[in-house]
Structure 1
Amino acid sequence: MPIAKVMLYCPNPACQTPNPEDHQFCQKCQTLLPHRYLWALGGVSCQPGELLVDRYLCKRERIFLDTHPGLLSSNFAEVPERFLPYLRLAPLRPHVPQVYDWIASASAAPLILLEQAPLYVTGPASSSKTTADPVASTRSGDVRLFPALLDAWPQASPLRQLNWLWQLANLWHPLSSEQVAASLFEPDLLRVEGGLVRLLELQFDADRRDPPTLVDLGQLWSGWVATASPKIRGFLQHLCQGLINKQIRNAELLTHYLDAALAQVGQTQTRQIQIATLTDQGPTRQRNEDACYPASGTVQRFESAEPVLLIVCDGIGGHQGGDVASHLAIESLEQHVKALPLPHLDPTTLTVELEKAIAVANDQISQRNDQEQRYDRQRMGTTLVMGLARGHELYIMHVGDSRAYWITRRGCHQITLDDDVASREVRLGYSFYRQALQQPSAGSLVQALGMGGSSSLYPTVQRLIPDEDCVFLLCSDGLSDNDRVEEVWESELLPILDGSVDLATASRRLVDIGNQRNGYDNVTVGLIHYRIPAQQPSPPTLSELPPLQLPSTLQPTLTLGAPASPAATDTAQTRLATAPADPIKPRVVRPQPAKAGILPLLLGIGVLLGMGGLLLALLLPSSIDRRATSPIPQLEPEIGASPPTTSTPAPLAEALAVGTVVQLTQSPLDGNSQPLRLLPAPAGATPEGAPSPAIESLGVIPQGTLLGILKRQEDSQRQLWLNVRVCSTPAGDSPEARPTPAEADVAAPALPVNPQRPALVQPGDNGWIAEATLLPRITVRPDLSVEQISECVQSVPLPTIEGPVPSPTPPP
């Protein structure tokens, strides 16, 4: 219905006074008035000034204002299936907007309202005191879109142009997994907020005639070459050529080329980094369970080449020894990170090392719990948020609900996603965030350091490339609760960028705000201030693709907000559903094999056990049958559950990710009853897990075969299947087929002559195997050299870009 005057209701439950839209604080209680402007999807049409469901005010076409920002959604229905990708891509914020609410309509498609869309407001109606962009209208309270990437492209620096391309490349896998990669091809949807790429909304692949491919991406980017910086124009030409010619066949390789270019251009960037830390017990706590590194009260300045480490830990509330856990974590992480050869590690290897450092810290706390016989609520634990600045990169790691925020002159963004129940509900597609907040356990943690073994811990590691003045705030929930950071960032943190407030003063003010406006917890803050001059030295000219030195262990590096590994409570099916659709560069998994010297003893024991098992089967068949059919309960771990006294390694099943290379060491040709066959397509399985013999196979896989995993898929019976490529077989003249010295000392058993012996697979064959069938037969030989591993990895060859460079098409 049309209304005469816009009134914004105070979010304070004890106040709820209506206020004019251009007020920043409630005129009665001085509570901040959040101005939440939302982007609308769907078929409901309305005119500016019209109010929907007595709450959402239409400001202009497709832009609404929530006039009751203190109220949660009253919609408890499930989000329409078409819009579930928004929920499952929640870790990618602020790249991807999130569902704020939705309104059903009997006559049209539902109206979906998105928050964190690339919108900004000028004038007093904005919660910001600054004009977000020079293209903004000067009219009071005007709501605008951030500029399109193509509009800002010609004026951007070489580093920023590469940064934008790098973010788009990193978005390819997660968007493809949700079948929304078409979003990267719509110029109007690609918006930029300084150096940050933001999507206005998602475009579904099904709406296009053909699903998008990397070839299409190369053709799109080739239209940007003409207006690219001359410093990177040649590089971009060759990069587009590699995509179009299918020599760059996956997004991971594309990302590595962009990383190499960023490293060359970033070397010339001058920057100054200053950090500050401060922690306080708070007005109501008996002790401070928070901790930080460097020590509280530190203010330090670093030049461009120096690595910078900052850590904030929050001991788990209600658990004994939270202060011990937080200090243990910081001590362990500091030692591990300082021992790393940071200048010599590629981004992927450094990401893996940081995950290892977090796992080591977790296990030290967990072992301390076990030694002191702490169980259930007595176990100590801690959350973690950590920043590591190295050159032009900033790595942000977190576990739990301690947060990191990114503040620029344009806005403030939360760049970590809490490991709590509400966020898990969103990631799994069960409900949107403001709906999930209404659960009684919404804020309960699903993981923290020290509560169990590292095999069940999934830290998030993300990488950013700051290219302008900015501040990163790392803090415990003593400050971030109740949206305090969103409330005060412009008054307390924005002045840092203007030089009117120093870091020490800002830290003290933030701690005071946490104590005064929250007041029920310890408060810890860490600030990282980047000063990057607008005038930079001229970078080198990149006229071709830089040489790559790929790491031995490869995995996609996720962009801002994207976790490096799944949440602790995600199921295997959920991880499979979000796996990349394209194959990535293979990696080799090396589990520790059994020593050959005890093989005869093991064989003898196996024979005795087999005879004993046969005797038991004859005497007690009914008892065995009953045990075989008894269901095994599946337990879901929770915070506070007593972990095992020893940490167990991650199961091999979790290592069989896309891009993994494994070797078969047990084969049906060597005595197993069921042949391991390579199938042309996923098929049903027998109760024993073996493929049905009626299915025509591509051949039997012999011992010693190296297999590269290209894809994972679940069939209608929820059985997991692996799409694999045969890298090499013992029949071929490959180094992988040669026995190790230990194997040569053990005589192979004589095989009976079998004229009906099935055909064997050949190198290059591509087919499918049930994961359950493959897992028991995998052990990787540790004697393979890097060159031998490379031979298998090169089954997906690194491109050497050759041939003429295509003429770039003019930009639209």
Structure 2
Amino acid sequence: MQNDPPILQCPNYFCQTLNAESQHICSNCQTPLPKRYLWAVGVGLEAYRPGDLIGDRYRLKSRRILLDTQPGLPPDAPLDITPSLEAYLRLIPHRLHVPQIYSYIESNTVAVVLLEQAPIYPNGARSSRGEDLAATLMPDLLSQWTAGFALRQLNWLWQIAQLWQPLSLEKVASTLLTPDLLRVDGGLVRSLELAHDAQPPTLAQLGHLWSQWQPSAHPAIADFLNDLCYNLAQEQIKAPEHLVSVLDQALADAAKGHDRQIHIATATDQGPSRQTNEDACYPAQGANFATSTDATPLPVVIVCDGIGGHEGGEVASDLAIATITEAVEKNADRAMDAASLTHVLDEAVCEANNEISQQNDVEHRQERQRMGTTVVLGLAHAHEVYLAHVGDSRAYRVTRTGCYQVTLDDDVASREVRLGYTLYRAALQHPASGSLVQALGMGSSTYLHPTVQRFVLDEDCVFLLCSDGLSDNDRIEECWARELAPLVDGTDLAVAARRLVEIANTRNGHDNVTIGLLRFQIRQGQGSPPLAMATTQPSAAPRTAPTADSVPHPSRVKTQIVVPVESSHSGRWLTPIFTLLGLLGLGGVLAFLLIPELRRAAMPPPPSPTASPPPTIAPEAPPSPNLRLASGSLLQLERDPASPRLPLLRNPEQPIDLSAQRIVGQMPSGSVLQVVGQRTVQGQRWIALKVCSVPPTAGVGFAIAGQTGWQQERAIAPFVNQSLSLQPNQLGACAPASPSPTPSPTPSAAQSPIPNR
């Protein structure tokens, strides 16, 4: 074709033939041709036209979409990771919603950063009418909002609420207040790029934005959304966790009118190059059956991959599955809420870790002789699916228009990106990039951090769980459109599982392979009943006397609390006055309800793209009886606290309940820390700490240099020393900036990565 010149270079190093973009395999050696469509952020592309080659490598497809014409070569990485780039890296655990940096182009005329996993339809994506969607932008949320059904609209809002806190910590929450940056792929919300905060945005501003969507909301949720926006605007909802909990309840109510069926299939094989199969799956090999998400016990699928090269990998994977299934069947039930079920899965994985570790200890296994395993599991519960994982076994979400990796490998490459050190593609070039930083059986569960995610089921989809015998070398991305997308429409799951095993054995062939498939088919009910705004407040909220700003609008109050007043003869003359004031107040209420302009005036102004919102001034913290730890000061932990562990926490606004918290890492005695911020939460002073260095004896699970997190001042103050005589090497990540190059992704001995193969 005249408009399809041979420009896509074969990734096979020994071939490198140029191919047309329309080809799927190399015309010379039949190697699959990856097509990576990238979103450009920066300046200078206006001078180019579609079809032009930029930077001798990237072909401009449209205004800001480019194709990498040399996918077999590592992309260039910036010399310096600036704060604006670092936010992308630290948000890699949320890459399902946030794109990642792929490369950059810098010349006399162009300066752009290229983002991968942006909301651009991948090669093979087709619309319901069969149209090719590849290399086109996904629609913005607003254009799809009116057509969304109740559960879908709530799911979109819920995902935005879930992202509020992690994006706020990286100072990019303004992304969620910029409708042009919010794109959707069915039920999935994806950001086009990140918008950096000029001033910290507020949940009240989010409520104002959502109030603009409320008139076109589905009738079943219109009143609920109106109440929710009012509560946000009036700061009745102050914490993102509270907002998520309110939306959780609404999702559960809206999902009651939908029927959800699940079909499960599994397969495992030792592969052509291994003598034994160290993988294991649940249900057992060859399972193929249909059930319901409301079944008892709850449907669960597990894939485990025994650590290669470690004795007893097959024992570890079998023991993990036996322990997890027993714990889930015993402790999980249909009536559980999200927090409880998340805790059950976290505890089940930790229990499996303890069982394997204890057997290692009994058999006196040390270091490389310790048996271990990775794990990834999927559990269906009502209108949600829960995914938990440790290691590098993966989960993928597949729809008719895309295939997304939803777990993040616990390996060295991912760790270096998460810490903001380097780009993912650059980290993969390091020889130790695939070494695991955590797996089951390697040590105490005190230092194990399972990841538990959940997804709302509002559309037909397939979740693929697999060991790296299949996922290595991008085999999933390579074959999803041909092998996985048809499963969404009902093709045989068992046949597909066997076919994926065959692909793993022929295209990879270096390892055992295990597959778990879960297909969800959603049937909408006759219509959702109108939802009501829940009146429950978060349990952690302090009880305070109501103020003029905290009293809800009378039309929003579902349950009124009447405060009894003692009767007195001398107070009877006040009755006519209170009656008159009550009538005046009632008139004001009616005017507020009936005159739209008054309601709009009560809402905070929308965030302007050019004007920053007014700064929020936090109240001064009350005097603390403990030592005050000032910002910028250096500290050293003198001795271990009485508590068995003193972790760095991700979120000071959650209760100090380690089962419900995400822990950055443990701080051992001898750690050098720097205070980088403070916050007052419910009258308690919290401090943000940056880890400068940790003792060389600290192992896996301990905090590492460069990490930041939160801890209560009064909890840590008794155990720190501020009269320090530090050696230069003890300053570590807190040393003054120098012109030295970006830290190497080489893992230190303290982290003890586990060679994966």
- TM-score (norm: length of structure 1): 0.68
1:534-683 equivalence runs, <5 A: 535-542=524-531, 544-548=532-536, 651-654=645-648, 658-659=652-653
User: Partner of 1:124 in structure 2?
Assistant: none
Q: Per the alignment, do residues 549 and 177 of structure 1 end up closer, same or farther by CA in structure 2, a change over 3 Å counting? A: closer
Distance 1:477 1:582 in 2: 49
Distance 2:711 2:446 in 1: 26
User: Partner of 2:144 in structure 1?
Assistant: 152
Distance 1:70 1:655 in 2: 40
Distance 1:722 1:436 in 2: 28
1:352-371 equivalence runs, <5 A: 352-371=343-362
Distance 2:683 2:355 in 1: 35
CA deviation vs aligned residue, 1:293-352 (integer Å, no higher than 9, x gap): 111111121124212100000000010000000011000000000012422221112112
Distance 1:244 1:27 in 2: 60
User: Partner of 2:69 in structure 1?
Assistant: 67
Q: Residue 191 of structure 1: SS of its match in structure 2?
A: strand
Alpha-carbon shift at residue 56 of structure 1 (Å): 0.7
Counterpart of 1:772 in structure 2: which amino acid?
A: I
User: Partner of 2:563 in structure 1?
Assistant: none
Q: Per the alignment, do residues 157 and 290 of structure 1 end up closer, same or farther by CA in structure 2, a change over 3 Å counting? A: same
Distance 1:8 1:116 in 2: 20
Q: Per the alignment, do residues 526 and 202 of structure 1 end up closer, same or farther by CA in structure 2, a change over 3 Å counting? A: same
Q: Residue 115 of structure 2: SS of its match in structure 1?
A: strand
User: Partner of 1:52 in structure 2?
Assistant: 54
Alpha-carbon shift at residue 716 of structure 1 (Å): 12
Distance 1:160 1:336 in 2: 32
Report if aligned partners of 1:191, 1:200 keep a CA contact under 8 Å in 2: yes
Q: Residue 361 of structure 2: SS of its match in structure 1?
A: helix
Structure 2 spans left out of the alignment, 5+ residues: 543-615, 619-635, 658-670, 694-706, 721-757
Alpha-carbon shift at residue 546 of structure 1 (Å): 2.3
User: Partner of 1:326 in structure 2?
Assistant: 317
User: Partner of 2:294 in structure 1?
Assistant: 305
Report if aligned partners of 1:87, 1:429 keep a CA contact under 8 Å in 2: yes
Counterpart of 1:184 in structure 2: which amino acid?
A: L
User: Partner of 1:289 in structure 2?
Assistant: 278
Aligned pair 1:199/2:143, yes or no? no
Report if aligned partners of 1:659, 1:708 keep a CA contact under 8 Å in 2: no
User: Partner of 1:131 in structure 2?
Assistant: 126
Counterpart of 2:181 in structure 1: which amino acid?
A: L
Q: Per the alignment, do residues 582 and 200 of structure 1 end up closer, same or farther by CA in structure 2, a change over 3 Å counting? A: farther
* Aligned with residue 178 of structure 1, among 170, 176, 179: 170
Q: Per the alignment, do residues 710 and 151 of structure 1 end up closer, same or farther by CA in structure 2, a change over 3 Å counting? A: farther
User: Partner of 1:760 in structure 2?
Assistant: none
What percent identity do the matched residue pairs reach? 50
Q: Residue 155 of structure 1: SS of its match in structure 2?
A: coil
User: Partner of 1:730 in structure 2?
Assistant: none
Distance 2:265 2:691 in 1: 54
User: Partner of 2:598 in structure 1?
Assistant: none
Distance 1:141 1:283 in 2: 37
Distance 1:772 1:63 in 2: 49
User: Partner of 2:507 in structure 1?
Assistant: 517
1:404-803 equivalence runs, <5 A: 404-499=395-490, 501-533=491-523, 535-542=524-531, 544-548=532-536, 651-654=645-648, 658-659=652-653, 709=684, 711-714=686-689, 769=713, 771-773=715-717
Q: Residue 150 of structure 1: SS of its match in structure 2?
A: helix
Distance 2:26 2:254 in 1: 48
Alpha-carbon shift at residue 58 of structure 1 (Å): 1.2
Counterpart of 2:516 in structure 1: which amino acid?
A: G
Distance 2:708 2:95 in 1: 30
User: Partner of 1:703 in structure 2?
Assistant: none
Aligned pair 1:257/2:239, yes or no? no
Counterpart of 1:652 in structure 2: which amino acid?
A: L
Distance 1:582 1:525 in 2: 52
* Aligned with residue 227 of structure 1, among 216, 223, 227: 216
Distance 2:105 2:708 in 1: 37
Report if aligned partners of 1:471, 1:527 keep a CA contact under 8 Å in 2: yes
Distance 2:70 2:656 in 1: 56
Q: Per the alignment, do residues 374 and 142 of structure 1 end up closer, same or farther by CA in structure 2, a change over 3 Å counting? A: closer
Report if aligned partners of 2:540, 2:655 keep a CA contact under 8 Å in 1: no
Counterpart of 1:112 in structure 2: which amino acid?
A: V
Alpha-carbon shift at residue 632 of structure 1 (Å): 10
Counterpart of 2:80 in structure 1: which amino acid?
A: E
Alpha-carbon shift at residue 252 of structure 1 (Å): 0.5
Q: Residue 284 of structure 2: SS of its match in structure 1?
A: coil
CA deviation vs aligned residue, 1:532-577 (integer Å, no higher than 9, x gap): 13x42312211x31254867899xxxxxxxxxxxxxxxxxxxxxxx
User: Partner of 1:729 in structure 2?
Assistant: none
Counterpart of 1:14 in structure 2: which amino acid?
A: F
Distance 1:389 1:407 in 2: 16
Q: Residue 223 of structure 1: SS of its match in structure 2?
A: helix
Alpha-carbon shift at residue 59 of structure 1 (Å): 1.4
Aligned pair 1:315/2:306, yes or no? yes
Alpha-carbon shift at residue 78 of structure 1 (Å): 2.9
* Aligned with residue 166 of structure 1, among 146, 158, 161: 158
User: Partner of 1:558 in structure 2?
Assistant: none
User: Partner of 2:115 in structure 1?
Assistant: 114
Distance 1:30 1:436 in 2: 28
* Aligned with residue 143 of structure 1, among 135, 156, 163: 135
Report if aligned partners of 1:660, 1:709 keep a CA contact under 8 Å in 2: no
Report if aligned partners of 2:77, 2:423 keep a CA contact under 8 Å in 1: no
Report if aligned partners of 1:721, 1:770 keep a CA contact under 8 Å in 2: no
Moved over 6 A (4+): 551-554, 631-634, 715-724
Distance 1:716 1:526 in 2: 39
Count of aligned residue pairs for this structure pair? 593
Distance 1:5 1:519 in 2: 34
Distance 1:397 1:551 in 2: 26
Q: Per the alignment, do residues 527 and 182 of structure 1 end up closer, same or farther by CA in structure 2, a change over 3 Å counting? A: same
Report if aligned partners of 1:709, 1:723 keep a CA contact under 8 Å in 2: no
Alpha-carbon shift at residue 413 of structure 1 (Å): 0.5
Worse-matched range after superposition: 43-52 or 269-278: 43-52
Alpha-carbon shift at residue 142 of structure 1 (Å): 6.7
Alpha-carbon shift at residue 707 of structure 1 (Å): 7.3
CA deviation vs aligned residue, 1:2-31 (integer Å, no higher than 9, x gap): x99351111122222111111112112222
Distance 1:81 1:53 in 2: 24
Report if aligned partners of 2:261, 2:290 keep a CA contact under 8 Å in 1: yes
Distance 2:215 2:353 in 1: 50
Aligned pair 1:396/2:387, yes or no? yes
